[in-house]
Structure 1
Amino acid sequence: MDVILAGIIFVVSYFFIMTEKINRAIASLAGGVLLLLTGIYSTHEVFFQYIDWNTIALLFSMMVLISITEKTGLFTFIAIRFAQKVRGNPIYLLIGSAILTAIGSAFLDNVTTVLIFVPVMLKITKLLKLPAFPYLLTIIFSSNIGGAATLIGDPPNIMIGQAVEHFTFLSFIQHTAPVAIVMFAILIAFCLIFFKGKLSNIKSNMVELSAIDASKNLTRSPLLYKSVGVLMMTLLGFLLHSILHIEMTTIALTGAILLLLLTEGELDTEEILSKVEWVTLFFFIGLFAIVGGLQQVGVIDEMARMIVVSTEGDYVKTTLLILWVSGLFSGFIDNIPFVAAMIPVIQEFETYGMVYLDPIWWALALGACLGGNATLVGASANVVVAGMAEADNQKISFIRFMKYGIPIVLISLVVSTVYIYFRYLIPYMGQG
C-alpha cells in the first residue's frame, strides 16, 4: 500500500511540476507534506535522511556571494566587455557562452558556474535585445556536459568519487572527459542548427554597444575588493578542497558568512537575503522529499536490483543498462538522490560475482551527469538557472525545455554507449 501511495504522490507532484499549473516549489513541497501525512516516512527521516542539506547550503552560500558581488556592478562590466569583444555577434556570443560555461563547470562545479555566469548572460541579452532562451539553454547543457568531465564538476561525480576509493581527480579526466569533449562539440553543432537561423536575423546595434563605457558600471570601492577577494578565495577553496580536506559546502558557507560580516556596515543584510532564490531552494527541498518517498518504500532500490535480474548477471548488458537507466531516470528524478540510491546497489554487484566494477561506475557517472539535460529538474544547475531566469521575467517552460533536452540526452547516451563498449567492454570480453 505504501508503494502505491508513494508512487501516486510522486506522479501527481511531477504532473504539476511539468505542467506548471502551480508554482513548482509549492508542488514539490505539497508532495513531501502528503508523504508525511500518509505516514510514508517521519519528519526525522525526511529531514535527516533524504533532504541533501549540503546541496541546499552550497546553493544558498553561492547565492549570497553572487548577490553581494552583483552590487558592485562587476557582472554588468563583464557583460558589456564580453559583448564588445565578440562585437555583439549573436552566434559568437552563443559559442563563447558555451565554452566559458563548460570550462567553468569542469574546474569549479556546474552550480557555481551558472550562478556566476547566468546574471552576466541575462544582462548581455537585455543589452543587445536578444532572446534569452537559446543562451540559457546552451548554458544549462554546457554546464552538465562540462561538469561530467571532472570529479568536482557535478555532484554525482563527487558522490561516486567518495564511494570508490581508488578514483582520483585524474581518473575522471581520463575516463569521463573524452565523452564530455565529444558531446560538447555535438552540442555546439546542435545549437547552431536550431538557433543560428533565428539569431542571424537579429542585428545588434554595435554603434550603441561600442559607445558604452563599461568601466562606468563598475563601482571601485572597498565593497568591490572585498566581494571579489572573498569570491576568488571561495573558488580557490573549491579547487583545493581535496588537499585541504574541507568539504565544499563548508568552504562556501565560510565565504558567504565572511562576506556578510565584512560588508555588514555597507549593505543591508536583509536586502541581500531577499535576493536569495528562495523558490529554487524550497523546490530542491521538496524534490528531495518526494524522491525520498520512493527511496523509503524501496522503489528505487528494487528498480536497481531488477537490473541485475533482467540481465541475468551478464556483465556487458548490466553495464549498458546502468548507463541507459541512469541517463533516462536522471532526467526526471534529480540525479543527486538517484545516484545516492544507486551507489550501494552497485557496491552489492560484487555479491553477484562482478569483481571489476569500474566500467559500471563510469556508466553511472556519464548516465547521471549527461542524463540531467533531459528536463528542468534533471540536475541542480537546471533548477538554479530556471529560478534565476524566472526571477528576471525570462521563464523557461518545462515542456519547451524537454523538446531540446531529450534529443541531447539520447545523443549523449548513444555516444556514451559506443565509448564504453569499445573502451571497456570489448577489452574485458577479450580477457575472458
Structure 2
Amino acid sequence: MNVILASLIFIVSYILIMTEKLNRAIVALFGGVLLLLSGIYTADDVFMNYIDWNTIALLFSMMVLISITEKTGLFSFIAIRFAQRVKGAPIPLLIGASVLTAVGSALLDNVTTVLIFVPIILKITRLLNLPSFPYLLAIIFSSNIGGTATMIGDPPNIMIGQAVDHLTFLSFLQHLAPVALIVFLVMLLAIVLLFRRTLQHDKANEKKLMEIDAAEQLIKTPMLYKSIVVLGLTITGFLFQSLLHIELTAVALSGAILLLLLTENEISAEHVFKKVEWVTLLFFIGLFTLVGGLQEVGIIDELAKAIIVTTEGDFSKTALLILWVSGLFSGIVDNIPFVAAMIPVIREFESYGLVYLDPIWWSLALGACLGGNATLVGASANVVVAGLAEGAKEKIPFIRFLLYGIPFVLFSLVISSIYIYIRYLIPYMGQAF
C-alpha cells in the first residue's frame, strides 16, 4: 500500500510541477507533507536523511553573494561596455552575449546569470532595433552549456557534487568543461549561420548605444570593491577546494557571510535576504522530501534493478543509457526533479556490481544539463528567460523554441556519447581485458 501511495503522490506532484499551474515549491512541499501524514516516513527521517542541506546552503550562499554584487551595477557595466566595444555589430554582439552568459553560468550559476543579463540584452537589442529571439535563444543555450562545465553552474551539478564526496569543483571542470566547450562552439556556429541574414547593422542605432555612459551603471562605493574581492576569493576557493581540504559549501558560506559582514553599513542583511530566491530553495527541499518517499518504500532500488536488467549489467550500455534517458527526460520536464530522482538510483548500482560510477555520474550531468535546452520548461534558466522576455513583451514562442531546441539537444547528446565513449569507456574496456 505504501508503494502505491508514495508513487501516486510523487507522480501527481510531478505532473503539477510540469504544468506550472501552481507554484512548484508549494506543490513539492505539499507532496512531502502528504508523505509525512501518511506515515511513510517520519520528520526525523526527512530532516536527517533525505534533505540535502549542503545543496541548500550552497545555493543560498551563491544567491547572497550575487544579490550584493548585483547592487553595485558591476554586471550591467560589463554587458554595456562589451556592446560598445563591438560597436553594436549584431554578430559580434551575439557571440559576446553567448560567451559572457556561458562564463557567468560556469562561475556563478545559470539562473543568476540570465537574471542579470537578459534585461540588459533586451534593452540593447531594442536600442539597436534587432530581433531579440536569436539573442534569447543563444543565452538559454549558453547558460545551460556553461552551467554544465562546473559544479556550481547548474542545479543538477550542485546536487550531483553534493551527493558524491570525491567529485570536487576541479573534477567537474576537468571532466565536463572540455565537452561543454565543444558543444558551445558548435552552438555558436549554428546560431550565427542560421540568423546571419536577419541580423543587420544600423549606424543610427549604433550611435545611440555609443552615447550610453556605461560608467553610470557602477555605484562606486566601498561595496563594489568588497564584492569583487570576496567574489574572487570565493571562486578561487572553489578552484583550490581539494588542496585546501575544505568543503565547497563551507567555502561558499564563508564568502557569503564575510560579504554580509563587510557590507552591513551599506546594505542591510534584511534587504539582501529579500533578494534570495526562497521559492527555489523551498522547491529543492520539497523535491528532496518527495524523492525520499520513493527511497523509503524501495522504488528507487527497483528502478536501479530495472536499468541493470535492461543493460544486462554492461558498464558501457549503462553509462550511455543514463546519458540519453537523462537528456531526453530533461527536455520534457525540469531537470532538477529528474536528477533528484536519479541520484539514489545510481547510488544503488554499487550493490549490483558496478563499482566505478564516475562516468555514469558524468553521463547524468551531461544529459540533464544539455537536455534542458530542448524546451522552454527543460531547465530553470529557460523558464526564467521566458518569463523575463514575456514581461518585456518579447515573448518566446514555445513551438519556435522547440524547433531549434530538440535538434540541438540530439546533436549535443551525440557529441557527449562520443566523448563519454572515447574518454571513459574505451579505457575501461581496455582495463577489463
TM-score (norm 2): 0.81
Contact 1:19 1:399 in 2 (8 A): no
Alignment partner, residue 345 of structure 1: 348
Q: 1:246 is paired with a residue of what secondary structure?
A: coil
Q: Tell me if the contact between 1:156 and 1:365 (Cα under 8 Å) persists in the aligned partners.
A: yes
Shift of 1:138: 3.1
Q: Deviation string for 1:308-362 (max 9, x for gaps)?
A: 1122233443332232233334553525424531442232343xxx566555454
Deviations 1:123-176 (A, max 9, x none): 232244267665454334323323444566556667767888887777656654
Distance 1:94 1:59, change over 3 A: farther
The answer (yes or no) to whether the contact 2:41–2:293 under 8 Å persists in 1 is: yes
CA distance in 2, matches of 1:391, 1:279: 19
8 Å Cα contact 2:17-2:27 kept in structure 1: yes
- Asked if 1 retains the 8 angstrom alpha-carbon contact of 2:125 and 2:131, the reply is no
CA contact (8 A) 1:101 1:114 kept: no
Q: Determine the C-alpha separation between the residues in 2 that align with 1:63 and 1:219.
A: 20
CA distance 1:14–1:297, change in 2 (3 Å): same
CA distance in 1, matches of 2:268, 2:160: 40
Structure-2 residue corresponding to 1:309:
309
Compute the displacement of 1:303 (Å).
1.5
Q: Distance in 2 between matches of 1:292 and 1:265?
A: 42
Mark the CA change 1:212 to 1:366 in structure 2 (over 3 Å): closer, same or farther. closer
Residue 269 (1) aligns with residue 272 (2):
no
Equivalent pair of 1:64/1:273 in contact (CA under 8 Å)? yes
- Structure 1 residue runs without a partner (length 5+): none
Corresponding residue of 1:289: 289
Counterparts in 2 of 1:80-119, with a 5 A limit? 80-106=80-106, 108=107, 111=109, 114-116=111-113, 118-119=115-116
Is structure 2 residue 407 aligned with structure 1 residue 415?
A: no
CA contact (8 A) 1:155 1:336 kept: no
1:121 to partner: Cα distance: 3.7
* Aligned-pair CA distance for 1:368: 3.8
Contact 1:97/1:139 (8 A) holds in 2? yes
SS across alignment from 2:276: coil
Q: CA RMSD in A?
A: 3.8
Distance 2:376 2:284 in 1: 12
C-alpha distance in 2, partners of 1:422/1:270? 51
1:322-333 equivalences in 2 (<5 Å): 322-331=322-331, 332=333, 333=335
Cα distance in 2, alignment partners of residues 252 and 174 from structure 1: 20
Q: Which one-letter code corresponds to 1:79 in the other structure?
A: A
Q: CA 1:365/1:214 → structure 2, altered by over 3 Å: closer, same or farther?
A: closer
Q: Percent identity?
A: 64
Question: How far 1:304 moved relative to its partner?
Answer: 2.2
In the alignment, the residues of structure 2 paired with residue 396 and residue 54 of structure 1 have an alpha-carbon distance, to the nearest angstrom, of: 35
Q: How does 1:200-211 map to 2 (within 5 A)?
A: 200=200, 205-211=205-211
Q: In the alignment, is the contact (CA less than 8 A) between 1:29 and 1:285 conserved in 2?
A: yes
Residues 179-328 of structure 1: pairs in structure 2 closer than 5 A: 179-192=179-192, 200=200, 205-328=205-328
Q: Structure 1 length normalisation: TM-score?
A: 0.81
Q: Distance in 2 between matches of 1:47 and 1:282?
A: 13
Q: Return the letter of the residue paired with 1:209.
A: L
How has the CA–CA distance of structure 1 residues 385 and 229 changed in structure 2, closer, same or farther, with 3 Å as cutoff?
farther
